[in-house]
Chain A
Amino acid sequence: MIPQTLQNNPSLDRWVSFPTAGRVRIAVGKTEYGQGMLTGLAQIAAEELDVAFERLDVVNLETGASPDEGLTVGSMSTEMSGASIRAACAEARALFAQAAAKRLGCEADELDIDDGAFTRAGARTGLDYWALAGEVDLDRAPSEEVKAKSPDRHKLVGTSEPRIDLPPKLFGAAFLQDLVLPGMLHARVLRQPGPAAKLTGLDEAAVRRAAGSEIDIVRDGQFVAFMSQSEPAAVAAIASAEGLAQWEGARELSPALSETESLKTLPSEAYPSGAPAPADSNRRRLSASYGRPYIAHGSMGPSCGVAEMKDGKLTVWTHAQGVYPLRMMLARVCKLSPDAIHVLHRQGAGTYGHNGSDDAAIDAAVIAVRRPGKPIRVQWRREDEFGHEPLGTAMRIDLAAELDASGRLVDYTAEIWSGSHTGGRGRCLAEVALGLEAPPPMTPPTGPGGMRFSGGVLNAIPSYDIQDRRFTEHAVSAPVRTSSLRGLGGPVNTYAGECFIDELAELAGQDPLAFRLGMISDPRAVAVLTRLADMAGWDRRGPAGSGKGLGLSYCRYRGRGAYVAAAAAVSVETEVKLDHLWCVTDCGQVINPDGATNQLEGGMIMAASWALKEQARLDGRGVVTTSWADYPILRFDEIPPVEVELIMQQHEPSAGTGEVSGGPALAAIGNAVAHALGARIRELPYTRERIAHALLA
C-alpha cells in the first residue's frame, strides 16, 4: 500500500530530485525542532537511494516546495513521513535503474548503486543518477510495484548519524528569532484578559511617550499592537499599555480552578465505551483517584513570527508545527486566498506540542496585512508565553478494578475528566480579539473502526491482558485554552494506570514486576520489562517505607506504538530526590539509535520535572505562573543519571519515541516514591506539602 502522505502528495519529485550534479534534494512535510527528525528521514532516503548521506540537501519546509504532511505531532514523523520518503526514494531508484538498464542494454536487476553511481558486476558503468536525470521524469505517481530494501541490506538505517540540525545551534544565529529582514519592525501585541474582554480605554499618547522612540499602533477591535524600528521602544510601549489599558468583561477565575478536583465541577460531556459495568460480586475491589494539574509547555524561546505583505502576497516565517495547516488559519484570519500566502518554516525552540507558535505567526500576519510593505517581527515575551499559550490540560482520573480469587486483575474501569488535548488547534488569540466569527468547532476525528479520537483517553487502560475493561471520558470545558502537550493524555493515563497497577499488586499480595508479567502475553513486552528489571536491580529492591524507593512501570504507547518499560530510584525525606532513571524501549526498526535515545532521555527528564515541580496556576484574569520563578522546572543539579537501552527490531515497523517515555517515567517515579514512603501520593506534582501530608496520614 502506498503510504498515506505519499498518496496525498503523489508526485515523486515533490519528495526527491537530482537538480545539481552530485546532490540529492529531499523534501518532507515535517518540521525539525530538535527531535532529530530530519536526520532520521534523510538517513532513510540515502539508504533507499544508495547515496552518501552527505549528498543530501534537505529542503526547509515551506508551502509549495514541500509535500503537505499536516502537523508534526504524535511521534508520527518516522512512522508516517519515513514510510513516504522511503517509498518515494525506492520508486525513484527503480526508475533510474530502468533508465540505466535501457542505456546499457541489460536488465535493471543486474545493476547496483554505489554512492549514486550504477555498477554492474562490481564494475562502474559510467552512469549515475545525475547523468540520467534528464531522461527520468519524477513528476509521476508511485507505481506501487517497487519494494523497499530489505532491512538486512541496511547500512545507514540503524546507525547514529550525527544530527544535521545541531551544528548551527552551537555557533550563533540559528533560529527564526534571529531572522532580520530589511526595514523590519519589531512588534508586541497587547493581550486580552480573557476572550470576552473589551478594551474601553487606552491612552495612546501616554504609550507613545513611554516608548521613547517613534512607534506605530495597530488597533482593530480588541487587537492592539505596537511597532517600532527599535525593539526596546516596542517593549516599553507594551509595558506601558498593559498598565494603562482599561478592560471591561475581563476574565475572573477562582484559584480553585487550578486544582484537578475542579474538573468535576465544570461543564462536560461524557463518552463511555467498553464492557458493561460489572455485576455485583464478591471479588476484591479497589478504587483510587489520580490527578495531574495544568502544565505549561515551557519552551525556552518565547514564540516568534515574522510576516510581510507585499504586492498582494503575504509571506510568513514561522516555527509552528506545520506550514499548510497554518496557511489555512492565516487565510481565514487575514481574509486572503491560500494561494496568496507563502509560509516558510524556520527552527525555533522546542515546543513539545501546541504552544504560542501559531499565535505569534498569526499576530505578525494580522499586523502585516494592515501595514503592507514592511516586514513585521512579533516576539512574544516570557510572560506572554506562560500567560497566553494553550496549556496542557489538567486531568483527573478515577480508577476502579477487581481481582478474582486468584489475585488476577479481571475488571478495570477508568473515568477520566480532561480538558481538550487537541481542541486548541485551529483557534488563535488574534481571531477572538478581532471579533471574527469563530470557526465551527472541530469535530473529533475518528480513528480506525470509527472510534472517536480523543487525546484524553490514550492509554486509558493499562497495556495488559485484562478480561473486562471500560472507560468514560468526561470532556470538560476548561476555563482556559488548552491544547496538545507531549503525549496528550497518554502519559497522564499511564501515570495513573501504572501506579494503580502497583496498588493492585499490593492488594493481590504480589511483587509489582511479577504481577505485571502475569498479565502479559506479548513477548516484546516481556522482553522490555525483564531487561529493565535486570538493569534496575529489581531483585535487590528493599522494603517499603525506608525512605529509599525503587519503582517500575510498563506501557505500550497508544496500544500500538513503542513498548516502554521504565524504572526510578528515589530518596525521599522532605522532598523527592531522583537517584536514577532507567528505560528499555522496543520501538521496532530504529533509524538512528542515538537520536531515539536522546528523545527517550529527554522525555523522561521532562516527565520527572512534571512529577516533582510543575503546575500552572489560574487566578483572576488567567494564568498567573508567568515567570520561571513561578513555574520552576528540573535543574542541572537535580538531574539523575538516566540509562536508556533500545531493543532493536529492524524487521518490525518503526514507532516514534518522542512521546513514549514520559508516561512510564511518571509512573515509575510515582511507584518509587510510594515505595520509599510506604504511602501513596496520587496528585501531581509531589510537593513538600503532599509528602508531609502522606507521611502524617
Chain B
Amino acid sequence: MLREITLTVNGRPRSFTADDATTLLDALRNHLDLKGARYGCGAEQCGACSVIIDGDDKPSCAVEVGTLEGRAITTVEGMGTPENPHPLQQAFLDKQAGQCGYCLSGILVGAKALLDANPSPTRAEVAAALSWHLCRCGAHNRIMDAVLLAAERIREGVAA
C-alpha cells in the first residue's frame, strides 16, 4: 500500500510516497534522485548498491524501506563533494584507485563504515571488510592502498 515514508538520508529527513516493500535502492535512485548507489545484481552479492545503515556497510538492493524509518542511511553523496571531498574520496583520487568506477560508490561507503569503526585497520582487515564488494577491473590493490592512506590522514587530522 502506498504511503508517505520518511527516511533519514545523509543526515536529512527525506519523504516520498511508496510501498513499504519498495527496496532502498529503488527509493534512493528513483524517488530521491541519489544515483550513487548502483544496481549491480539485485541479490546482495556484489556491493555496487552498498550504503551505510546505522554504521554498517549494507547492500540496498533487497532491504525494504518499511523497515528503515528512523535509521541513519549514508550514501556516497553524503560523504563529500568534488569541492569538499571526504578523505577517502581524496585518497582514491590521489591513488587513482579505480578504473571503470562502477563499484566505487559501494566500496567508498564500505571503507567509510570500516574506518568509522576501526580507524587503524591493517591491510588484511581492509581486505576482509571489502571482500564482499566485487571489482572486475582489478583495481583492488590501489583501492586498499587508498583506504590505508585515508585512514592515516584521518588519524593525523584528528591528532593535529
Contact = CB atoms under 8 A, between A and B. Distances in A.
A545 B92 CA distance: 41
Contact of B46 (A180, A300, A598, A606): A300
B138 interface: yes
Contact of A379 (B39, B77, B139, B141): B39
A175 interface: yes
A102 to B, nearest CB: 43
The SS class assigned to the B binding surface is: loop
B41 A627 contact: yes
A692 B78 CA distance: 49
Interface stretch (A5-13, A166-174, A398-406, A409-417): A166-174
Contact of A170 (B93, B99, B100): B93
A382 B124 CA distance: 29
Interface in A588-611: 594-595, 598-599, 601-606, 609
Interface in B30-85: 30, 33-36, 38-43, 45-46, 48, 75-77, 80-82, 85
B135 A300 contact: yes
Nearest to B40: A300
Contacts of B139: 598, 601-602
A177 interface: yes
Contact of B137 (A34, A172, A180, A627): A34
B134 A167 contact: no
Given A171-B82, A298-B136, A636-B127, A34 B39 contact: no
A633 B134 contact: yes
Q: How extensive is the interface on chain A, given as a class?
A: 35 or more
A627 B45 contact: yes
Contacts of B119: none
Contacts of A232: 22-23, 26
A34 B82 contact: no
Contacts of B121: none
Contacts of B76: 170-172
B144 A299 contact: no
Given A175-B38, A602-B99, A170 B46 contact: no
A342 B18 CA distance: 36
A609 B136 CA distance: 9
A471 interface: no
A641 B124 CA distance: 12
Nearest to A212: B19
Nearest to A171: B82
B84 to A, nearest CB: 10
Interface string A15-40: 00000000000000000011110000
Contacts of A642: 141
Given A598-B96, A602-B139, A636-B140, A175 B45 contact: no
Interface residues of B, number: 57
A174 B99 CA distance: 13
B136 A170 contact: no
A174 B101 contact: yes
A557 B19 CA distance: 55
Contacts of B93: 162, 166-167, 170
A177 B39 contact: yes
B82 A635 contact: no
Given A34-B101, A173-B35, A302 B138 contact: no
Give the 9 A-B CB pairs with smallest separation, nearest first.
A605-B138, A169-B101, A34-B100, A602-B138, A350-B100, A349-B102, A173-B35, A34-B99, A178-B35
24 contacts: A35-B99, A162-B96, A170-B104, A172-B36, A174-B101, A177-B38, A232-B23, A300-B102, A301-B40, A301-B48, A349-B100, A349-B102, A352-B136, A382-B41, A598-B96, A601-B139, A602-B138, A602-B139, A633-B134, A633-B136, A635-B131, A635-B132, A636-B133, A639-B144
